[in-house]
Amino acid sequence: MTKQEKVKFVINTLYKLYPEIPIPLDHHDAYTLLIAVLLSAQCTDVRVNKITPLLFAEADNPYDMVKLSVDEIKNIIKPCGLSPMKSKGIYGLSKILIEKHDGKVPQSFEALEALPAVGHKTASVVMSQAFGVPAFPVDTHIHRLMYRWNLTNGKNVAQTEKDAKRLFPKELWNDLHLQIIWYGREYSPARGWDLEKDIITKTVGRKTVINNYYR
C-alpha cells in the first residue's frame, strides 16, 4: 500500500468504528475543559473524571478557584498525581485569566501556552474541543499508533504531530485525534495487545512491529 492508501484506510476504518465520537474528559465549558486536560497529565481520564466533580463543586470558574488556596486545590486533586505542580498551575492560570483575559479562556495557542502548566498539547485540546479550531493534540496513544502504522518515525511527539498534520486533511483533525485515542485504547494498547483484533496495524503497520509481535 502507498502511504496515501494507508491514510485513506485509517480514516475510513476509524469513521466506521466511531461515527459518533465521545469526548474523554467531562466538562461543561472551556475553563473546565482546560482544568481537566491539565489534570490528565500522567493520569487516566477515568480518574480525572472522578476528581473534577469534587473540584468543580468548589470552583468551576477562575473567580471561585482563586478563592481557594493552592493547598486546598492540591488536597482535592491529589489522586491525579503531580498535585503540587498542578495545583500551582490551576491557581496561577486562574489568576492570569482574571487579570488579563476578563476571566475567559483565550482562543489562541500563544495565549494558552503562556498560562502556567499549559503546554502545547493542552492548548491544542482546548483549541480543538472547546473552540473548534483545527488541531492535532498528540498523546501517548496517537504517538504509539502513528509509529505502528508507519506514518511517523516515532522520534518525538512534535514530529508525530507534524506528520499527522501533513498526512491527514485539516478538516478531519479534530475528529481523527479523538478517534485514534479511542482506537488505541480499545484495539491497539501498549500492553495486552492482540494484533488479530488490531485491523489497522495488521493492514498498514510497519513490518518490524508486526514481525516482532508476540502473542
- CA angle, 35 as apex, 190 and 21 as ends, to 5°? 55
Catalytic (active site) residue 104: no
- Cα separation of 128 and 133, whole Å? 5
Catalytic (active site) residue 121: yes
Which residue, chain included where needed, has cell 474541543? 129
Of 74, 86, 121, 198, the catalytic one is: 121
Of 139, 165, 175, 202, the catalytic one is: 139
- Cα separation of 178 and 18, whole Å? 9
CB count within 10 Å of CB 176 equals 23
How would you label 1-16 residue by residue, b for 16+ Cβ within 10 Å and e otherwise? Answer: eeeeebbebbbebbee
Active-site residue set? 121, 139
